[in-house]
Homo-oligomer: A and B are copies of this chain.
């Protein structure tokens, strides 16, 4: 049914049906009284406020993955570092992984606090032109757990978008948790009027990870989110002693390359495993400047510098199309 919201309870009769707000499935639904009243549902006023706030942000890019632990936050951080290496660009990272925020550690900002000013929450600055916001800055200790169900996570995301004083930005990179649930629906919904340029999807080569990426692609199609392309992380490992290349997560079904071909999605690049990446992340340093000659740095830089032209005309509002060819200028 077209009028069943994606966040509706099971057996929702649909917001336009005769039974709206009256069926047994409506019991306990936060929208029960609204549906029963017969009034058309008003959009959340925050969407318009966020549109205003985001009018000074030129590009908004989501970084998604199906599975966790594939290097999403690492990519987000390095994309930001890479873009910010052009001092004329203003870059920011918004971490909406509410229960597992790793951006503060990876970007060397652990222990930093957010300050409040007249114009909203101030993000934390890594460089003059690179700022970060994460729930990690609001916790008393990095060990504190954020034990929140969906509605509280959604409220936090809304606050990040509406109440943070981002200033004028060229790029806002949004790092997400794995999956296709509250955080993903909320960010797409809250940014719907402000428009998202598209999503970069991160994966590792093995089928168990690709399977979840296909779910993520289905999600992007359902919510009309353009796909910028796929990055394959941890593609190979080169032994530091004998230089033998090993496939630690073997691409038993052809890896991201074959999947991208089949689905007609751009493969932005493959990044090899380098133990120095994990080390730089733990130490909060940019791997790109720590190891400028690593094959992984070269791969990251190539991805960041890919000069794709965005063609989103055939993307929006056509739900079941097979061709997703959103392309985009990163730099």
Task: Classify the secondary structure of A's interface with B.
Answer: loop
CB of A218 within 8 A of chain B?
A: yes
- Asked if A22 is at the interface (CB within 8 A of a chain B CB), the reply is no
Q: Would you call A120 an interface residue if the criterion is a C-beta within 8 Å of the partner chain's C-beta atoms?
A: no
Does A146 lie at the interface of the complex (its beta carbon under 8 Å from any beta carbon of B)?
Answer: yes
Task: Return the chain B residue nearest A139 by Cβ.
Answer: B215
Chain copies in the assembled complex: 2
Confirm or deny: A78 has a beta carbon within 8 angstroms of a beta carbon on chain B: no
Most buried by B among A66, A68, A211, A281: A68
* A295 interface contact, C-beta 8 A: no
Q: State which residues 236-271 of A face B: CB under 8 Å.
A: 237, 239-242, 244, 246-250, 252-253
Q: Which residues in window 119-153 of A have CB below 8 A to B?
A: 142-153
Q: Which residue of B lies closest to A97 (CB)?
A: B179
Q: Which residues of B contact A185 (CB under 8 A)?
A: 147, 149
9-residue interface stretch from A2-10, A82-90, A320-328:
A2-10
- CB distance A239 to B250 under 8 Å? no
Interface size, chain A (Cβ < 8 Å): 77
How far in angstroms is the closest Cβ of chain B from A107?
A: 11
* Inter-subunit contact A181/B147 (CB<8 Å): yes
Whether B30 and A180, one on each chain, are in contact in the complex, defined by CB atoms closer than 8 angstroms, is no
Question: Are B239 and A282 in contact (CB-based, < 8 A)?
Answer: no
Choose the segment among A53-61, A162-170, A272-280, A298-306 that binds chain B (4+ C-beta atoms closer than 8 Å).
A272-280
Give the residue of B7, B67, B102, B248 whose beta carbon is less than 8 angstroms from that of A100: B67
Contact B252 A275 (CB under 8 A): no
- A244: chain B residues within 8 A (beta carbon): 239-242
CA distance in complex: A64, B217 (Å) = 26
Of all chain B residues, the one with the shortest Cβ separation from A244 is: B241
- Smallest Cβ distance from A71 to chain B, in angstroms? 8
Sample of 16 A–B contacts (CB below 8 Å): A6-B147, A6-B149, A8-B152, A30-B30, A67-B68, A68-B100, A99-B180, A142-B214, A147-B222, A177-B178, A206-B281, A247-B275, A248-B275, A249-B278, A252-B282, A252-B283
Beyond the given pairs A7-B152, A149-B150, 7 more chain A to chain B contacts, judged by CB atoms under 8 angstroms and listed by A's residue number, are: A147-B180, A148-B180, A149-B181, A150-B181, A153-B181, A248-B248, A252-B279
